[in-house]
Amino acid sequence: MHHLPHDATDAELIYFIDQWVRLMEAEDYVAAHAYTTQSQHMGWTPATMRQVVKSYDECRSTQRVTLEGRETDIRQRKEVYRYAENRYGCIGYVSYDLNVDHVVTDLTATFDIHTDEHGLTIMLDDIHVM
């Protein structure tokens, strides 16, 4: 798990998640899992992260998340939403559309933004079709 500064910009948050995507692109699901904190209610493991990617759309065992993707009728969204800190220390979330095999998709990863005494942490909440 990595911390970002408390005053991290939206661009810095997106860059952080871009680095997570690079780990996913390398199919290093163990490193990608360790890069963020995980939502306890979702039960993410490196294996389930891999499974959701391999099960998307055409369900090819060779398909993978890629950082770059060409748009089709879908445009990639990378959006940060911030709000006042709630009782769980959450101050917002990021919605990040994933590319699969260099094509923009409707497979979206969502991340909660948490604050603590050390800075901001990014928690993988879900990966699902929007």
Is 125 in contact with 114 (CB distance < 8 Å)? no
Domain range annotation of the chain: 10-129
Is 118 in contact with 95 (CB distance < 8 Å)? no
Is 69 in contact with 63 (CB distance < 8 Å)? no
Residue indicated by tokens 């759309």? 57
pLDDT digits (tens, 9 = 90+) for 87-109: 999 999 999 999 999 999 999 99
Compute the average pLDDT of residues 41-56. 95
CATH for the 10-129 domain, from 3.10.350, 3.30.1370, 3.40.50, 3.10.450: 3.10.450
What are the angstrom distances between the C-alpha of 30 and each of 9, 54, 64, 115? 27, 16, 15, 24
pLDDT above 70 covers a percentage of the chain that reads 99
pLDDT digits (tens, 9 = 90+) for 11-22: 999 999 999 999
| CA 99/CA 68 separation, integer angstroms | 7
pTM listed for this prediction:
0.94
